[in-house]
Amino acid sequence: MDIGKDLVAASATPLVLAILSEGESYGYAIIKRVDELSGGELQWTDGMLYPVLHRLERNGLVKASWGRSEAGRRRKYYRLTDKGSDELTKQRRQWQVVNETLRSTPFMSYQLAPQAR
Amino acid sequence: MAHEGGVQVLEDRVLEWRSYVRRRRAIDATDVDELEDHLRSQVADLQAAGLDEEEAFLIGVKRLGELDALSREFAREHSERLWKRLVVAEAEEEGADRKREAVVALGLAVAAALAIKVPELFGVRLDGSAAAEFFYARNISLLVLPFLAGFFAWKRGMDSAGLLKLVAPFLAGAVAMNLMPFEPGGSTMLLAALHLPMALWFAVGFGYAGGAWRDHDQRMNFVRFSGEWFIYFVLIGLGGGVLMMFTMFIFGAIGLDAEWLLESWILPCGAAGAVVVAGWLVEAKQSVIENMAPVLTMLFTPLFVLMLLAFLVTMIWTGSGIAVEREVLIGFDLLLVLVVGLLLYSISARDPHAEPGLFDALQLVLVICALLVDAMALWAILARISAFGFTPNRVAALGENLILVVNLAWSAMLYTRFLRRQAGFGPVERWQTAYLPVYAAWAWIVVLAFPLLFQFQ
Protein backbone atom coordinates (compact mmCIF):
# COMPACT_ATOMS: atom_id res chain seq x y z
CA MET A 1 0.00 0.00 0.00
CA ASP A 2 1.23 3.50 -0.80
CA ILE A 3 1.06 5.57 2.34
CA GLY A 4 1.19 9.34 1.89
CA LYS A 5 4.43 11.18 2.57
CA ASP A 6 2.96 13.30 5.34
CA LEU A 7 1.59 10.32 7.20
CA VAL A 8 4.89 8.46 6.90
CA ALA A 9 6.71 11.49 8.22
CA ALA A 10 4.27 11.96 11.09
CA SER A 11 4.39 8.33 12.14
CA ALA A 12 8.15 7.98 11.84
CA THR A 13 8.98 9.47 15.24
CA PRO A 14 6.59 7.38 17.37
CA LEU A 15 7.46 4.25 15.40
CA VAL A 16 11.20 4.66 15.84
CA LEU A 17 10.80 5.55 19.52
CA ALA A 18 8.53 2.55 20.07
CA ILE A 19 10.94 0.15 18.36
CA LEU A 20 13.84 1.53 20.36
CA SER A 21 11.83 1.03 23.55
CA GLU A 22 12.24 -2.69 22.86
CA GLY A 23 15.98 -2.21 23.27
CA GLU A 24 19.08 -0.74 21.62
CA SER A 25 19.10 -1.05 17.84
CA TYR A 26 20.58 0.34 14.62
CA GLY A 27 19.27 1.75 11.37
CA TYR A 28 19.00 -1.34 9.23
CA ALA A 29 17.43 -3.39 12.04
CA ILE A 30 14.87 -0.65 12.66
CA ILE A 31 13.86 -0.67 9.01
CA LYS A 32 13.54 -4.44 9.06
CA ARG A 33 11.43 -4.27 12.21
CA VAL A 34 9.09 -1.70 10.67
CA ASP A 35 8.74 -3.91 7.64
CA GLU A 36 8.04 -6.95 9.82
CA LEU A 37 5.53 -5.19 12.09
CA SER A 38 3.58 -3.71 9.20
CA GLY A 39 3.64 -6.93 7.25
CA GLY A 40 5.48 -5.11 4.47
CA GLU A 41 2.72 -2.51 4.13
CA LEU A 42 4.73 0.40 5.51
CA GLN A 43 7.66 1.04 3.19
CA TRP A 44 10.22 3.69 3.95
CA THR A 45 12.94 4.98 1.75
CA ASP A 46 15.74 3.47 3.82
CA GLY A 47 18.06 6.44 3.80
CA MET A 48 15.39 8.79 5.11
CA LEU A 49 15.47 7.04 8.47
CA TYR A 50 18.88 8.48 9.30
CA PRO A 51 18.01 12.18 9.29
CA VAL A 52 15.08 11.22 11.56
CA LEU A 53 17.41 9.39 13.94
CA HIS A 54 19.82 12.32 13.92
CA ARG A 55 17.01 14.71 14.76
CA LEU A 56 15.90 12.52 17.66
CA GLU A 57 19.51 12.43 18.83
CA ARG A 58 19.85 16.19 18.63
CA ASN A 59 16.66 16.59 20.67
CA GLY A 60 18.01 14.17 23.27
CA LEU A 61 15.29 11.54 22.76
CA VAL A 62 17.81 8.89 21.76
CA LYS A 63 21.47 8.44 22.46
CA ALA A 64 23.83 7.19 19.78
CA SER A 65 27.09 5.31 20.19
CA TRP A 66 29.49 3.69 17.77
CA GLY A 67 29.98 -0.04 18.08
CA ARG A 68 30.79 -2.99 15.89
CA SER A 69 28.58 -5.31 13.90
CA GLU A 70 28.99 -9.09 14.03
CA ALA A 71 31.11 -8.76 10.90
CA GLY A 72 33.32 -6.18 12.62
CA ARG A 73 32.02 -3.13 10.71
CA ARG A 74 31.60 0.23 12.39
CA ARG A 75 27.96 0.52 13.32
CA LYS A 76 26.03 3.27 15.02
CA TYR A 77 23.63 2.07 17.71
CA TYR A 78 20.75 4.05 19.13
CA ARG A 79 18.96 3.66 22.43
CA LEU A 80 16.06 5.45 24.03
CA THR A 81 16.81 8.04 26.73
CA ASP A 82 14.53 8.86 29.66
CA LYS A 83 13.45 11.94 27.80
CA GLY A 84 12.69 9.68 24.83
CA SER A 85 10.48 7.43 27.00
CA ASP A 86 8.56 10.46 28.23
CA GLU A 87 8.15 11.65 24.66
CA LEU A 88 6.92 8.20 23.64
CA THR A 89 4.28 8.27 26.39
CA LYS A 90 3.19 11.73 25.28
CA GLN A 91 3.00 10.71 21.62
CA ARG A 92 1.08 7.55 22.52
CA ARG A 93 -1.61 9.68 24.16
CA GLN A 94 -1.76 11.97 21.15
CA TRP A 95 -2.09 9.08 18.72
CA GLN A 96 -4.76 7.51 20.93
CA VAL A 97 -6.79 10.70 20.78
CA VAL A 98 -6.45 10.83 17.00
CA ASN A 99 -7.22 7.17 16.67
CA GLU A 100 -10.32 7.32 18.89
CA THR A 101 -11.60 10.42 17.21
CA LEU A 102 -11.26 8.76 13.84
CA ARG A 103 -13.00 5.66 15.11
CA SER A 104 -16.00 7.59 16.27
CA THR A 105 -16.46 9.19 12.84
CA PRO A 106 -17.71 7.37 9.76
CA PHE A 107 -14.05 7.42 8.63
CA MET A 108 -13.46 3.72 9.21
CA SER A 109 -16.57 2.60 7.30
CA TYR A 110 -15.73 4.85 4.36
CA GLN A 111 -12.37 3.23 4.33
CA LEU A 112 -14.01 -0.16 3.87
CA ALA A 113 -16.58 0.90 1.34
CA PRO A 114 -14.46 0.77 -1.84
CA GLN A 115 -13.19 -2.68 -0.98
CA ALA A 116 -16.70 -3.99 -0.34
CA ARG A 117 -17.81 -2.88 -3.72
CA MET B 1 37.32 -17.92 -7.71
CA ALA B 2 34.11 -16.48 -9.05
CA HIS B 3 33.09 -15.65 -5.53
CA GLU B 4 36.41 -13.94 -4.83
CA GLY B 5 35.92 -11.79 -7.92
CA GLY B 6 32.42 -10.95 -6.73
CA VAL B 7 33.69 -9.75 -3.38
CA GLN B 8 36.18 -7.51 -5.13
CA VAL B 9 33.46 -6.11 -7.36
CA LEU B 10 31.36 -5.32 -4.32
CA GLU B 11 34.25 -3.62 -2.54
CA ASP B 12 34.96 -1.49 -5.60
CA ARG B 13 31.32 -0.58 -5.94
CA VAL B 14 30.98 0.38 -2.31
CA LEU B 15 34.12 2.50 -2.52
CA GLU B 16 32.83 4.23 -5.62
CA TRP B 17 29.46 4.81 -3.97
CA ARG B 18 31.14 6.23 -0.87
CA SER B 19 33.11 8.83 -2.77
CA TYR B 20 29.99 9.71 -4.73
CA VAL B 21 27.90 10.24 -1.60
CA ARG B 22 30.74 11.99 0.16
CA ARG B 23 30.61 14.79 -2.37
CA ARG B 24 27.34 15.93 -0.84
CA ARG B 25 28.14 18.56 1.69
CA ALA B 26 25.17 17.83 3.87
CA ILE B 27 26.29 14.23 4.40
CA ASP B 28 29.48 13.98 6.39
CA ALA B 29 31.99 11.14 6.78
CA THR B 30 30.33 9.51 9.78
CA ASP B 31 26.96 9.59 8.04
CA VAL B 32 28.49 7.80 5.10
CA ASP B 33 29.89 5.19 7.49
CA GLU B 34 26.44 4.71 8.91
CA LEU B 35 24.82 4.48 5.48
CA GLU B 36 27.53 2.08 4.36
CA ASP B 37 26.77 -0.23 7.26
CA HIS B 38 23.13 -0.11 6.21
CA LEU B 39 23.96 -0.81 2.60
CA ARG B 40 26.22 -3.73 3.45
CA SER B 41 23.65 -5.27 5.80
CA GLN B 42 21.06 -4.98 3.07
CA VAL B 43 23.38 -6.47 0.45
CA ALA B 44 24.27 -9.37 2.74
CA ASP B 45 20.58 -10.16 3.32
CA LEU B 46 19.79 -9.97 -0.40
CA GLN B 47 22.73 -12.21 -1.19
CA ALA B 48 21.56 -14.68 1.40
CA ALA B 49 18.25 -14.66 -0.47
CA GLY B 50 20.11 -15.75 -3.61
CA LEU B 51 20.99 -12.53 -5.49
CA ASP B 52 24.50 -11.97 -6.80
CA GLU B 53 26.72 -9.10 -5.60
CA GLU B 54 25.88 -6.83 -8.48
CA GLU B 55 22.11 -7.14 -8.16
CA ALA B 56 22.21 -6.97 -4.38
CA PHE B 57 24.30 -3.79 -4.52
CA LEU B 58 22.02 -2.11 -7.04
CA ILE B 59 18.87 -2.90 -5.06
CA GLY B 60 20.55 -1.85 -1.82
CA VAL B 61 21.50 1.53 -3.25
CA LYS B 62 18.04 2.02 -4.72
CA ARG B 63 16.37 1.30 -1.39
CA LEU B 64 18.56 3.89 0.32
CA GLY B 65 16.76 6.42 -1.78
CA GLU B 66 17.57 8.93 -4.44
CA LEU B 67 20.67 10.84 -3.43
CA ASP B 68 19.30 14.32 -4.13
CA ALA B 69 16.28 13.77 -1.92
CA LEU B 70 18.42 12.11 0.72
CA SER B 71 20.94 14.89 0.77
CA ARG B 72 18.07 17.38 1.05
CA GLU B 73 16.76 15.58 4.14
CA PHE B 74 20.22 15.52 5.67
CA ALA B 75 20.62 19.19 4.87
CA ARG B 76 17.35 19.99 6.63
CA GLU B 77 18.54 18.21 9.74
CA HIS B 78 22.13 19.46 9.55
CA SER B 79 21.77 22.89 8.00
CA GLU B 80 24.93 24.02 9.72
CA ARG B 81 26.94 21.80 7.43
CA LEU B 82 26.07 23.90 4.44
CA TRP B 83 27.59 26.81 6.27
CA LYS B 84 30.44 24.59 7.26
CA ARG B 85 32.21 25.58 10.39
CA LEU B 86 34.87 27.95 9.31
CA VAL B 87 37.57 27.49 11.81
CA VAL B 88 37.98 23.96 13.08
CA ALA B 89 37.85 21.06 10.71
CA GLU B 90 35.35 18.37 11.55
CA ALA B 91 36.65 15.26 9.86
CA GLU B 92 37.07 13.13 12.98
CA GLU B 93 39.12 10.31 11.55
CA GLU B 94 41.96 12.66 10.78
CA GLY B 95 41.52 14.79 13.89
CA ALA B 96 45.05 14.24 15.17
CA ASP B 97 46.60 15.20 11.84
CA ARG B 98 44.50 18.31 11.66
CA LYS B 99 45.47 19.31 15.13
CA ARG B 100 49.16 18.85 14.41
CA GLU B 101 48.78 20.84 11.22
CA ALA B 102 47.09 23.65 13.15
CA VAL B 103 49.89 23.68 15.72
CA VAL B 104 52.57 23.78 13.03
CA ALA B 105 50.76 26.51 11.08
CA LEU B 106 50.18 28.67 14.13
CA GLY B 107 53.78 28.16 15.23
CA LEU B 108 55.00 29.30 11.83
CA ALA B 109 52.63 32.26 11.92
CA VAL B 110 54.06 33.34 15.25
CA ALA B 111 57.57 32.84 13.86
CA ALA B 112 56.70 35.04 10.86
CA ALA B 113 55.24 37.66 13.18
CA LEU B 114 58.43 37.69 15.22
CA ALA B 115 60.70 37.58 12.17
CA ILE B 116 59.27 40.87 11.03
CA LYS B 117 60.56 42.42 14.26
CA VAL B 118 64.02 40.80 14.17
CA PRO B 119 65.67 43.64 12.19
CA GLU B 120 64.82 45.95 15.10
CA LEU B 121 67.24 44.01 17.25
CA PHE B 122 69.91 45.22 14.87
CA GLY B 123 68.79 48.79 15.07
CA VAL B 124 66.64 48.90 11.92
CA ARG B 125 63.65 50.65 13.37
CA LEU B 126 60.68 51.94 11.40
CA ASP B 127 60.73 55.40 12.88
CA GLY B 128 60.47 57.42 9.72
CA SER B 129 64.10 57.11 8.64
CA ALA B 130 64.50 56.46 4.92
CA ALA B 131 67.18 53.81 5.42
CA ALA B 132 64.90 51.68 7.60
CA GLU B 133 61.98 52.12 5.21
CA PHE B 134 64.09 51.02 2.28
CA PHE B 135 65.36 48.06 4.25
CA TYR B 136 61.84 46.89 4.92
CA ALA B 137 60.71 47.60 1.37
CA ARG B 138 63.47 45.33 0.08
CA ASN B 139 63.16 42.58 2.65
CA ILE B 140 59.58 42.32 3.82
CA SER B 141 58.70 39.34 1.63
CA LEU B 142 61.95 37.62 2.63
CA LEU B 143 60.95 37.92 6.27
CA VAL B 144 57.46 36.47 5.82
CA LEU B 145 57.11 34.16 2.82
CA PRO B 146 59.73 31.58 3.91
CA PHE B 147 57.35 30.56 6.68
CA LEU B 148 54.48 29.98 4.29
CA ALA B 149 56.78 28.04 1.96
CA GLY B 150 58.07 26.15 5.00
CA PHE B 151 54.54 25.19 5.96
CA PHE B 152 53.98 23.58 2.57
CA ALA B 153 57.39 21.93 2.58
CA TRP B 154 56.41 20.34 5.89
CA LYS B 155 52.89 19.50 4.77
CA ARG B 156 54.00 17.89 1.52
CA GLY B 157 56.90 16.12 3.19
CA MET B 158 59.49 17.39 0.73
CA ASP B 159 62.81 15.55 0.51
CA SER B 160 66.14 17.28 1.00
CA ALA B 161 66.74 17.78 -2.74
CA GLY B 162 63.38 19.54 -3.00
CA LEU B 163 64.08 21.59 0.11
CA LEU B 164 67.33 22.76 -1.37
CA LYS B 165 65.54 23.96 -4.47
CA LEU B 166 62.97 25.67 -2.28
CA VAL B 167 65.57 27.48 -0.20
CA ALA B 168 67.62 28.61 -3.20
CA PRO B 169 65.29 31.38 -4.45
CA PHE B 170 64.97 32.83 -0.96
CA LEU B 171 68.73 32.87 -0.58
CA ALA B 172 69.18 34.40 -4.03
CA GLY B 173 66.59 37.06 -3.16
CA ALA B 174 68.22 37.83 0.18
CA VAL B 175 71.68 38.13 -1.35
CA ALA B 176 70.50 40.26 -4.26
CA MET B 177 68.42 42.62 -2.16
CA ASN B 178 71.05 43.24 0.50
CA LEU B 179 74.41 42.98 -1.22
CA MET B 180 73.75 44.84 -4.45
CA PRO B 181 74.81 48.48 -4.14
CA PHE B 182 71.40 50.00 -4.87
CA GLU B 183 71.13 53.73 -5.05
CA PRO B 184 68.79 54.39 -2.11
CA GLY B 185 65.30 55.07 -3.46
CA GLY B 186 66.39 54.49 -7.06
CA SER B 187 64.11 52.95 -9.69
CA THR B 188 65.92 49.62 -9.82
CA MET B 189 65.62 49.22 -6.08
CA LEU B 190 61.95 50.08 -6.05
CA LEU B 191 61.29 47.79 -9.01
CA ALA B 192 63.17 44.95 -7.36
CA ALA B 193 61.31 45.51 -4.09
CA LEU B 194 58.02 45.44 -6.02
CA HIS B 195 58.83 42.29 -7.97
CA LEU B 196 60.49 40.24 -5.26
CA PRO B 197 57.20 39.28 -3.52
CA MET B 198 55.88 38.04 -6.88
CA ALA B 199 59.08 36.15 -7.60
CA LEU B 200 59.02 34.55 -4.16
CA TRP B 201 55.33 33.75 -4.47
CA PHE B 202 56.29 31.35 -7.24
CA ALA B 203 58.82 29.82 -4.86
CA VAL B 204 55.91 29.32 -2.45
CA GLY B 205 54.14 27.68 -5.38
CA PHE B 206 57.06 25.30 -5.75
CA GLY B 207 56.55 24.32 -2.13
CA TYR B 208 52.78 24.14 -2.58
CA ALA B 209 53.22 21.67 -5.43
CA GLY B 210 55.59 19.66 -3.27
CA GLY B 211 58.27 20.25 -5.88
CA ALA B 212 56.13 18.90 -8.71
CA TRP B 213 55.93 22.27 -10.42
CA ARG B 214 55.93 20.78 -13.90
CA ASP B 215 52.55 19.18 -13.25
CA HIS B 216 49.85 21.32 -14.87
CA ASP B 217 47.17 20.22 -12.43
CA GLN B 218 49.39 21.30 -9.55
CA ARG B 219 49.93 24.64 -11.22
CA MET B 220 46.20 25.15 -11.58
CA ASN B 221 45.74 24.16 -7.95
CA PHE B 222 48.27 26.76 -6.97
CA VAL B 223 46.39 29.37 -8.98
CA ARG B 224 43.22 28.42 -7.11
CA PHE B 225 45.12 28.49 -3.86
CA SER B 226 46.47 31.98 -4.59
CA GLY B 227 42.99 33.34 -5.21
CA GLU B 228 41.55 31.84 -2.06
CA TRP B 229 44.59 32.88 -0.07
CA PHE B 230 44.07 36.46 -1.17
CA ILE B 231 40.42 36.38 -0.14
CA TYR B 232 41.24 34.94 3.27
CA PHE B 233 44.01 37.48 3.73
CA VAL B 234 41.68 40.37 2.94
CA LEU B 235 39.02 38.98 5.28
CA ILE B 236 41.53 38.59 8.09
CA GLY B 237 42.72 42.11 7.34
CA LEU B 238 39.17 43.43 7.69
CA GLY B 239 38.79 41.67 11.02
CA GLY B 240 42.14 43.01 12.12
CA GLY B 241 41.06 46.53 11.18
CA VAL B 242 37.99 46.26 13.38
CA LEU B 243 40.12 44.89 16.22
CA MET B 244 42.55 47.78 15.96
CA MET B 245 39.78 50.35 15.80
CA PHE B 246 38.30 49.07 19.02
CA THR B 247 41.72 48.84 20.68
CA MET B 248 42.30 52.52 19.91
CA PHE B 249 38.82 53.36 21.08
CA ILE B 250 38.77 51.58 24.43
CA PHE B 251 42.28 52.62 25.40
CA GLY B 252 41.48 56.13 24.27
CA ALA B 253 38.48 56.05 26.61
CA ILE B 254 40.81 55.71 29.62
CA GLY B 255 43.13 58.36 28.31
CA LEU B 256 45.86 56.11 26.87
CA ASP B 257 47.16 56.38 23.35
CA ALA B 258 47.52 52.86 21.92
CA GLU B 259 48.65 54.01 18.50
CA TRP B 260 52.33 53.11 18.99
CA LEU B 261 51.33 49.58 20.00
CA LEU B 262 49.20 49.19 16.89
CA GLU B 263 51.73 50.68 14.53
CA SER B 264 54.84 48.94 15.73
CA TRP B 265 53.43 45.60 16.85
CA ILE B 266 49.86 44.62 16.05
CA LEU B 267 49.78 45.79 12.44
CA PRO B 268 53.12 44.42 11.17
CA CYS B 269 53.08 41.24 13.26
CA GLY B 270 49.42 40.62 12.57
CA ALA B 271 49.87 41.03 8.83
CA ALA B 272 52.92 38.73 8.79
CA GLY B 273 51.11 36.08 10.81
CA ALA B 274 48.02 36.43 8.63
CA VAL B 275 50.06 35.48 5.55
CA VAL B 276 50.74 32.05 7.04
CA VAL B 277 47.35 31.66 8.72
CA ALA B 278 45.53 32.45 5.47
CA GLY B 279 47.61 29.81 3.68
CA TRP B 280 46.82 27.25 6.32
CA LEU B 281 43.10 28.06 6.31
CA VAL B 282 42.87 27.65 2.55
CA GLU B 283 44.63 24.33 2.86
CA ALA B 284 42.53 23.10 5.78
CA LYS B 285 39.24 24.34 4.42
CA GLN B 286 39.73 23.53 0.81
CA SER B 287 36.15 22.40 0.41
CA VAL B 288 34.46 25.25 2.22
CA ILE B 289 34.78 28.54 0.41
CA GLU B 290 36.61 27.06 -2.49
CA ASN B 291 34.20 28.73 -4.84
CA MET B 292 34.75 32.25 -3.62
CA ALA B 293 37.32 33.39 -6.20
CA PRO B 294 35.33 31.97 -9.14
CA VAL B 295 32.11 33.50 -7.79
CA LEU B 296 33.72 36.92 -7.59
CA THR B 297 35.06 36.36 -11.10
CA MET B 298 31.60 35.53 -12.43
CA LEU B 299 30.27 38.66 -10.79
CA PHE B 300 32.93 41.02 -12.01
CA THR B 301 33.74 39.76 -15.48
CA PRO B 302 30.65 41.37 -17.05
CA LEU B 303 31.25 44.57 -15.11
CA PHE B 304 34.83 44.80 -16.28
CA VAL B 305 33.75 44.13 -19.85
CA LEU B 306 31.31 47.05 -19.56
CA MET B 307 33.94 49.29 -18.05
CA LEU B 308 36.53 48.52 -20.72
CA LEU B 309 34.00 48.92 -23.52
CA ALA B 310 32.89 52.26 -22.11
CA PHE B 311 36.51 53.34 -21.85
CA LEU B 312 37.34 52.33 -25.42
CA VAL B 313 34.25 54.06 -26.81
CA THR B 314 35.00 57.22 -24.85
CA MET B 315 38.57 57.23 -26.01
CA ILE B 316 37.61 56.85 -29.64
CA TRP B 317 34.86 59.46 -29.27
CA THR B 318 37.03 62.10 -27.64
CA GLY B 319 40.22 61.13 -29.48
CA SER B 320 42.35 61.48 -26.37
CA GLY B 321 45.36 59.25 -25.86
CA ILE B 322 46.81 57.73 -22.73
CA ALA B 323 48.95 60.06 -20.66
CA VAL B 324 52.33 58.44 -20.18
CA GLU B 325 53.22 58.89 -16.57
CA ARG B 326 54.60 56.25 -14.30
CA GLU B 327 51.43 55.98 -12.20
CA VAL B 328 49.26 55.73 -15.30
CA LEU B 329 51.37 52.99 -16.82
CA ILE B 330 51.44 51.05 -13.56
CA GLY B 331 47.69 51.49 -13.36
CA PHE B 332 47.23 50.02 -16.83
CA ASP B 333 49.59 47.18 -16.02
CA LEU B 334 47.56 46.39 -12.95
CA LEU B 335 44.35 46.53 -14.96
CA LEU B 336 45.74 43.98 -17.39
CA VAL B 337 46.99 41.79 -14.58
CA LEU B 338 43.48 41.93 -13.19
CA VAL B 339 41.96 40.92 -16.52
CA VAL B 340 44.37 38.01 -16.80
CA GLY B 341 43.42 37.12 -13.23
CA LEU B 342 39.71 37.17 -14.10
CA LEU B 343 40.47 34.98 -17.06
CA LEU B 344 42.59 32.61 -15.02
CA TYR B 345 39.98 32.19 -12.29
CA SER B 346 37.08 31.64 -14.58
CA ILE B 347 39.17 29.05 -16.38
CA SER B 348 40.21 27.39 -13.12
CA ALA B 349 36.59 26.98 -12.04
CA ARG B 350 35.17 25.95 -15.36
CA ASP B 351 34.14 22.40 -16.03
CA PRO B 352 36.46 21.54 -18.93
CA HIS B 353 33.84 19.27 -20.47
CA ALA B 354 31.02 21.82 -20.57
CA GLU B 355 29.86 23.13 -23.92
CA PRO B 356 30.83 26.68 -24.93
CA GLY B 357 28.33 29.11 -23.46
CA LEU B 358 27.45 32.77 -23.12
CA PHE B 359 30.00 33.28 -20.38
CA ASP B 360 32.80 32.01 -22.61
CA ALA B 361 31.79 34.50 -25.27
CA LEU B 362 31.88 37.20 -22.62
CA GLN B 363 35.39 36.09 -21.68
CA LEU B 364 36.43 36.50 -25.27
CA VAL B 365 35.00 40.03 -25.38
CA LEU B 366 36.88 40.81 -22.18
CA VAL B 367 40.13 39.47 -23.62
CA ILE B 368 39.71 41.45 -26.85
CA CYS B 369 38.93 44.67 -24.97
CA ALA B 370 41.97 44.13 -22.79
CA LEU B 371 44.06 43.50 -25.89
CA LEU B 372 42.99 46.81 -27.40
CA VAL B 373 43.71 48.69 -24.20
CA ASP B 374 47.02 46.90 -23.88
CA ALA B 375 47.96 47.75 -27.44
CA MET B 376 47.34 51.41 -26.68
CA ALA B 377 49.39 51.27 -23.49
CA LEU B 378 52.19 49.58 -25.44
CA TRP B 379 52.02 52.26 -28.08
CA ALA B 380 52.30 54.97 -25.44
CA ILE B 381 55.27 53.30 -23.78
CA LEU B 382 57.08 52.78 -27.08
CA ALA B 383 56.51 56.41 -28.03
CA ARG B 384 57.91 57.45 -24.71
CA ILE B 385 60.95 55.20 -25.08
CA SER B 386 61.74 56.39 -28.60
CA ALA B 387 61.52 60.01 -27.48
CA PHE B 388 63.32 59.83 -24.15
CA GLY B 389 65.29 56.58 -24.18
CA PHE B 390 65.27 53.57 -21.87
CA THR B 391 64.74 53.81 -18.15
CA PRO B 392 64.24 50.89 -15.77
CA ASN B 393 60.61 51.85 -15.24
CA ARG B 394 59.82 52.04 -18.93
CA VAL B 395 61.54 48.77 -19.72
CA ALA B 396 59.74 47.04 -16.86
CA ALA B 397 56.41 48.40 -18.03
CA LEU B 398 57.21 47.44 -21.61
CA GLY B 399 58.18 43.90 -20.64
CA GLU B 400 55.09 43.38 -18.55
CA ASN B 401 52.86 44.67 -21.29
CA LEU B 402 54.47 42.45 -23.87
CA ILE B 403 54.08 39.39 -21.66
CA LEU B 404 50.43 40.17 -21.07
CA VAL B 405 49.76 40.97 -24.69
CA VAL B 406 51.17 37.63 -25.78
CA ASN B 407 49.05 35.81 -23.22
CA LEU B 408 45.89 37.72 -24.14
CA ALA B 409 46.40 37.38 -27.89
CA TRP B 410 46.92 33.65 -27.72
CA SER B 411 44.03 33.28 -25.23
CA ALA B 412 41.77 35.16 -27.64
CA MET B 413 42.83 32.83 -30.40
CA LEU B 414 42.22 29.70 -28.30
CA TYR B 415 38.89 31.02 -27.05
CA THR B 416 37.76 31.71 -30.58
CA ARG B 417 38.60 28.19 -31.62
CA PHE B 418 36.85 26.83 -28.58
CA LEU B 419 33.70 28.90 -29.25
CA ARG B 420 33.67 27.72 -32.84
CA ARG B 421 33.93 24.18 -31.52
CA GLN B 422 37.14 23.59 -33.41
CA ALA B 423 38.88 22.57 -30.20
CA GLY B 424 38.00 21.61 -26.64
CA PHE B 425 38.53 23.70 -23.54
CA GLY B 426 41.70 21.82 -22.62
CA PRO B 427 44.09 23.97 -24.68
CA VAL B 428 42.70 27.19 -23.13
CA GLU B 429 43.40 25.89 -19.65
CA ARG B 430 46.71 24.35 -20.57
CA TRP B 431 47.94 27.58 -22.15
CA GLN B 432 47.41 29.49 -18.90
CA THR B 433 49.25 26.94 -16.78
CA ALA B 434 52.02 26.64 -19.36
CA TYR B 435 52.45 30.43 -19.29
CA LEU B 436 52.87 30.76 -15.51
CA PRO B 437 56.69 30.26 -15.55
CA VAL B 438 56.97 33.27 -17.88
CA TYR B 439 55.63 35.53 -15.12
CA ALA B 440 58.03 33.95 -12.64
CA ALA B 441 60.98 34.36 -14.99
CA TRP B 442 60.12 38.00 -15.64
CA ALA B 443 59.77 38.80 -11.94
CA TRP B 444 63.19 37.27 -11.30
CA ILE B 445 64.72 39.16 -14.21
CA VAL B 446 63.49 42.44 -12.76
CA VAL B 447 64.83 41.51 -9.33
CA LEU B 448 68.21 40.12 -10.35
CA ALA B 449 69.13 41.45 -13.80
CA PHE B 450 67.63 44.96 -13.86
CA PRO B 451 69.90 46.40 -11.16
CA LEU B 452 72.97 45.12 -13.01
CA LEU B 453 71.67 46.27 -16.41
CA PHE B 454 70.89 49.77 -15.20
CA GLN B 455 73.84 50.18 -12.83
CA PHE B 456 71.64 50.27 -9.70
CA GLN B 457 70.24 53.67 -10.64
3-state secondary structure chain B: CHHHHHHHHHHHHHHHHHHHHHCCCCCCHHHHHHHHHHHHHHHHHHHHCCCCHHHHHHHHHHHHCCHHHHHHHHHHHCHHHHHCCCCCCCCHHHHHHHHHHHHHHHHHHHHHHHHCCHHHHCCCCCCCCHHHHHHHHHHHHHHHHHHHHHHHHHHHCCCHHHHHHHHHHHHHHHHHHHHCCCCCCCHHHHHHHHHHHHHHHHHHHHHHCCCCCCCHHHHHHHHHHHHHHHHHHHHHHHHHHHHHHHHHHHHHHCCCCCHHHHHHHHHHHHHHHHHHHHHHHHHHCCCCCCCHHHHHHHHHHHHHHHHHHHHHHHHHHHCCCCCCCHHHHHHHHHHHHHHHHHHHHHHHHCCCCCCCCHHHHHHHHHHHHHHHHHHHHHHHHHHHHHHHCCCHHHHHHHHHHHHHHHHHHHHHHHHHHHHCCCCCCHHHHHHHHHHHHHHHHHHHHHHHHHHHHCCCC
Look up residue B387 and give its amino acid: A
Chain B: give the shortest CA distance to residue A104, in Å: 36
The winner for highest mean pLDDT among B23-32, B116-125, B408-417 is B408-417
Give one word for B211, left, alpha or beta, with left for phi > 0 and alpha for psi -120 to 50. Answer: left
| Amino acid B107: pLDDT | 95
Enclosing H/E stretch for A109: helix A107-116
Q: Name chain B contacts of A48, Cβ cutoff 8 Å.
A: 65, 69-70, 73
Three-state secondary-structure class, residue A40: coil
Q: Name the pLDDT band for A92 (thresholds 50, 70, 90).
A: very high
Question: Residue ranges per domain, chain B?
Answer: 2-83, 92-284, 292-453
pLDDT of residue B1 exceeding 80: no
Tell me what the mean pLDDT of segment B63-77 comes to: 81
| Amino acid B87: pLDDT | 41
pTM for the structure as a whole: 0.67
State pLDDT tens for residues B213-256.
888 888 888 888 898 899 899 999 999 999 999 988 999 899 88
Partner residue facing A73 (CB), from B37, B63, B64: B37
Inspect the interface and report whether the beta carbons of B73 and A51 lie closer than 8 Å. yes
pLDDT of residue B324 exceeding 70: no
What is the DSSP secondary structure assignment for residue A20, as one 8-state letter?
A: H
Q: Name chain A contacts of B69, Cβ cutoff 8 Å.
A: 45, 48
Q: Which of A25, A35, A43, A45 best tests the B interface by mutation, with the highest count of B CBs <10 A? A: A45
The interface predicted TM-score of the complex, written ipTM, equals 0.83
State pLDDT tens for residues B78-110.
766 655 444 444 444 456 777 888 899 999 999
Q: Which of B34, B61, B82 best tests the A interface by mutation, with the highest count of A CBs <10 A? A: B34
Minimum Cα–Cα distance from A73: chain B residue? B37
| Amino acid B95: pLDDT | 63
Mean pLDDT of chain B: 85
Q: Which of A35, A75, A77, A78 best tests the B interface by mutation, with the highest count of B CBs <10 A? A: A75
State pLDDT tens for residues B276-290.
999 998 888 765 545
Tell me what the mean pLDDT of segment B295-320 comes to: 87
Which residues of B sit within 8 Å Cβ distance of A?
A: 30-31, 33-38, 40-42, 44, 63-66, 69-70, 73-74, 76-78
pLDDT of residue B352 exceeding 80: no
| Amino acid B287: pLDDT | 55
Which CA distances in Å does B103 have to B11, B64, B107, B115?
Answer: 36, 40, 6, 18
Structural class in CATH, domain A5-111:
mainly alpha
Q: Name the pLDDT band for B6 (thresholds 50, 70, 90).
A: low
* Least confidently predicted of A101-105, B123-127, B295-299: B123-127
**Phi and psi angles of residue B321, each rounded to the nearest 5 degrees, phi first:** -90, 180
Q: Name chain B contacts of A75, Cβ cutoff 8 Å.
A: 34, 37
Inspect the interface and report whether the beta carbons of A45 and B40 lie closer than 8 Å. no
A9 lies within 8 A of chain B by CB:
no
Minimum Cα–Cα distance from A69: chain B residue? B37
Tell me the CA end-to-end span of chain B in Å, nearest whole number. 79
